[in-house]
Structure 1
Amino acid sequence: MSFLDTVLQEPSYGWKDKEGDLIVPSSKQLFQEFFSRLNIFKSRKNWLPFFGWSRAILLASFFIVFLFEYLTWFNFIIAFVYGMIAMGTHGTIWHHRYCTHGAYTFRNKFWRFITQNLTISVIPEEIYAISHHVHHSKSDTPGDPYNAEGGFLYCFLADVNHQPIAKNLSKEDYQRVVSLMKHTGVHANTYEQYLKWGSYAHPWRSIALWLINWSFWYIVFYLIGGNSLAVTIFGAAGFWAIGVRTYNYEGHGKGKDKQKHGVDYNHKDRSINQLWPGIVAGEWHNNHHLYPKSARSGFKPLQVDLAWYYIKMMYTIGAISQYKDDKKRFYKKYYLPYLQEKKEAKQRQKLLSLKLKKVPN
């Protein structure tokens, strides 16, 4: 078996059956796995999923306070912009294009740290990055940690049930995890610490960095607009923290073939380009699956890509030293041939219409 077959902790219900088909667990099985893996009293190695969901629940509590205490039209607009655009775009910039795919390189650690902490911290880097490598390797097949064919809950609970790294990796395989993560700046556990905690990151360091991040941003927002603004923005982050867990289910057609000719060009999986995630977060998902290491995925005209605009701006000021942009490759291999195909089809239709007009009644 390859490294990507074993790097993630397999759920108790398994990835696939004896015939090699995806095991679709029941809701009961999914929730049993979920709460079992959140149980830090059962095993301290469950600390990372527990930490991730604890932060999400804390942020969700801010959202509830926002709804009952601070909901105004102005605050609603602030929450919408921060929760939908700022958080979504940052997730694409940091977790997706940098931590996972290394689509660009920072000039130094300072700019990497600034980019990492541009927004309120929500998702642990190792939960996202390692599992996302597996997702691209096994997209929409058994072993894909958020396989849309498994259903909504299969994807929604994936960060606990399917995305954590395995707890029994060999020293060699753990070093491969370290190699995939070292550019992120997240401090790595030693192999002995990994065996103790079951994770790449150390819990006390992670908790300290989380407290610093949240404290900094709450103070900044409080100084600007008091508790009203701070609670509004933290609540918006909470809305995103829950909502982002639905993304891959939607982004892969809810497990069905929803690809459109001339819109989606990668047919190796069920990824689709969607207007809303594309506009607010630069997530043109089918384009991304074509060229996962590209710092830009909004290739076509009118495909807004805010994440790419940030990366390009940082390159312009010297904060990013290099990046990869596959727009020209996309045009040459996919988009220009499609336009030519459309042009020829239109010409054929025109000729057919002329012939039909010449035929006597």
Structure 2
Amino acid sequence: MAFLNNVLEPPAYGWTDEKGELVKPTPKQIIKEFFSRLNVFRDRKNWLSFMSWMMVVVLTPMLFLFIFKYFSIPLLIAAFVYSMIVMGTHGTIWHHRYCTHGAYQFKNNFWRFITQNLTLKIIPEEIYAVSHHVHHALSDTPGDPYNAQGGFLYCFLADVNHQPIARNMSEKEYECCVKLMKHTGVTCNTYAQYQKWGTLANPIRSIIGVALNWGFWFTAFYLIGGLGLSFTLFGAAGFWAVGVRTFNYEGHGKGEDKRRHGVDFNREDMSINQVWPGLVAGEWHNNHHLYPNSARSGFKPWQVDSAWYFIKFMHTIGAVSSYRDNKAQFYAEYYDPHISGLEAAKPEVVKAYDQEQGVLIPERA
């Protein structure tokens, strides 16, 4: 815990005030910090955040080309499916359940490489995974890099303002940080290189990796559907890259307690299960916070979990060697006792609960 408390570079406005309470910076402070930490001319150690947002900038004209030149209903459907479902599900599969939580293991590096590059490479693994460990350790408390209580901008610009790793780690601390990323296949800097670049990732390798990934997918889309499809799906990926930055603000109740009895069983933080992220990306967030290392978070029959379906399929064909699935524990530890409590109450209470949830009790698959 002490390591995770200090593994991220604190913003200029800090995590806490003199009373130990969460600092809630003004929009002006957040935006000033954002542009300061994108400035590669002031500090080359800002390169990873700069590259991450430059990818969004490069993808934006492609979105406009789709809208104003290539627009059609079939391409609109393709854009929706690619941005909302394909990119969203891949983010859950790769960045969330594998890179951060190691919820499943690949049979070999070949399948890991294939899974890593199933979509456009946009979010650097380092920015996502390390900070997400901190998010779980300090969820909804000061130091959580996307604490929803800090407001929308606090979360939306967190990848630049709050998520980069600390730049003054000792060699021992840096090695601990490397261990968090070792299984992902990302080749990390030596300690001397880290002191120069301020990151785990190497800039040359990262840029080449993105260029090869983008080149492959642009060519593949072109061969399938011409320039129209290429610009459409690249623009859709850029749209997703912006939209995904809003998730943790929404997924933690916009800083308020929006947890529902009988729906959100994790009471350690403000995470909530939302239907839309669940349906399109398999992200049932409260379930995930309940069992963060589970390869499945859609525990109930109606909780569609596309990321889990992919992982299970990969296991069936032998690409994934093992996984963790906490569905049985969820029912035994939370859902069944909850239903037993309802059944012990008056019949009208059970009926009211049944109607509110829109499912039959008991809802077991």
Same-fold status (TM-score > 0.5): yes
Letter in 2 for 1:148: A
Query: Which residue number corresponds to residue 357 of structure 1?
Result: none
Structure 1 residues 100-147: Cα deviation after superposition (integer angstroms, max 9, x where no partner): 000000000000000000001110000000000000000000000000
Query: 1:63/1:336 Cα in 2 relative to 1: closer, same or farther (>3 Å)?
Result: same
Query: Which residue number corresponds to residue 253 of structure 2?
Result: 253
Q: Helix, strand or coil for the counterpart of 2:322?
A: strand
Whether 2:151 is the aligned partner of 1:144: answer no
Residues in 1 aligned to 2:294 and 2:59: alpha-carbon distance in whole angstroms: 32
Whether 2:49 is the aligned partner of 1:82: answer no
Query: Which residue number corresponds to residue 35 of structure 1?
Result: 35
| Offset of residue 349 of structure 1 | 5.7
Q: Pairwise mapping of residues 15-94 of structure 1 onto structure 2 (< 5 A)?
A: 15-94=15-94
Residues in 2 aligned to 1:331 and 1:225: alpha-carbon distance in whole angstroms: 46
Query: Which residue number corresponds to residue 98 of structure 2?
Result: 98
Residues in 1 aligned to 2:238 and 2:162: alpha-carbon distance in whole angstroms: 22
Q: Matched residues, percent identical?
A: 65
Letter in 1 for 2:243: G
Query: Which residue number corresponds to residue 128 of structure 1?
Result: 128
Verify the 8 A CA contact 2:342 2:349 in the aligned structure 1. Answer: no
Residues in 2 aligned to 1:349 and 1:112: alpha-carbon distance in whole angstroms: 49
Letter in 1 for 2:235: G
Query: Which residue number corresponds to residue 324 of structure 1?
Result: 324
Any unmatched runs of 5+ in structure 2?
351-365
Q: Pairwise mapping of residues 216-255 of structure 1 onto structure 2 (< 5 A)?
A: 216-255=216-255
Residues in 2 aligned to 1:348 and 1:120: alpha-carbon distance in whole angstroms: 51
Residues in 1 aligned to 2:191 and 2:162: alpha-carbon distance in whole angstroms: 22
Structure 1 residues 269-314: Cα deviation after superposition (integer angstroms, max 9, x where no partner): 1000000000000000000000000000000111000000000000
Q: Helix, strand or coil for the counterpart of 1:322?
A: strand
Q: What's the C-alpha RMSD, in Å, of the aligned pairs?
A: 1.0
Structure 1 residues 325-350: Cα deviation after superposition (integer angstroms, max 9, x where no partner): 00010000001111112222244769
| Offset of residue 66 of structure 1 | 1.1
Query: Which residue number corresponds to residue 208 of structure 2?
Result: 208
Query: 1:220/1:263 Cα in 2 relative to 1: closer, same or farther (>3 Å)?
Result: same
Q: Helix, strand or coil for the counterpart of 1:38?
A: coil
Residues in 1 aligned to 2:348 and 2:117: alpha-carbon distance in whole angstroms: 55
| Offset of residue 60 of structure 1 | 2.0
Q: Helix, strand or coil for the counterpart of 2:321?
A: strand
Residues in 2 aligned to 1:321 and 1:346: alpha-carbon distance in whole angstroms: 47
| Offset of residue 257 of structure 1 | 0.4
Query: Which residue number corresponds to residue 358 of structure 1?
Result: none
| Offset of residue 178 of structure 1 | 0.6
- TM-score norm. by structure 1 comes to 0.96
Residues in 1 aligned to 2:278 and 2:341: alpha-carbon distance in whole angstroms: 25
42-51 vs 67-76, which deviates more? 67-76
Query: Which residue number corresponds to residue 183 of structure 1?
Result: 183
Q: Helix, strand or coil for the counterpart of 1:345?
A: coil
Residues in 2 aligned to 1:93 and 1:313: alpha-carbon distance in whole angstroms: 12
Query: Which residue number corresponds to residue 360 of structure 2?
Result: none
| Offset of residue 59 of structure 1 | 1.4
Letter in 2 for 1:243: G
Residues in 2 aligned to 1:342 and 1:84: alpha-carbon distance in whole angstroms: 36
Query: Which residue number corresponds to residue 295 of structure 2?
Result: 295
Whether 2:283 is the aligned partner of 1:283: answer yes
Verify the 8 A CA contact 2:265 2:287 in the aligned structure 1. Answer: yes
Q: Helix, strand or coil for the counterpart of 2:344?
A: helix
Query: Which residue number corresponds to residue 109 of structure 2?
Result: 109
- TM-score norm. by structure 2 comes to 0.95
| Offset of residue 63 of structure 1 | 1.0
Q: Pairwise mapping of residues 157-176 of structure 1 onto structure 2 (< 5 A)?
A: 157-176=157-176
Residues in 2 aligned to 1:263 and 1:23: alpha-carbon distance in whole angstroms: 31
Query: 1:349/1:212 Cα in 2 relative to 1: closer, same or farther (>3 Å)?
Result: closer
Residues in 1 aligned to 2:186 and 2:346: alpha-carbon distance in whole angstroms: 54
Letter in 1 for 2:250: E
Q: Helix, strand or coil for the counterpart of 2:36?
A: helix
Indicate the structure (1 or 2) with the bigger Cα radius of gyration: 1
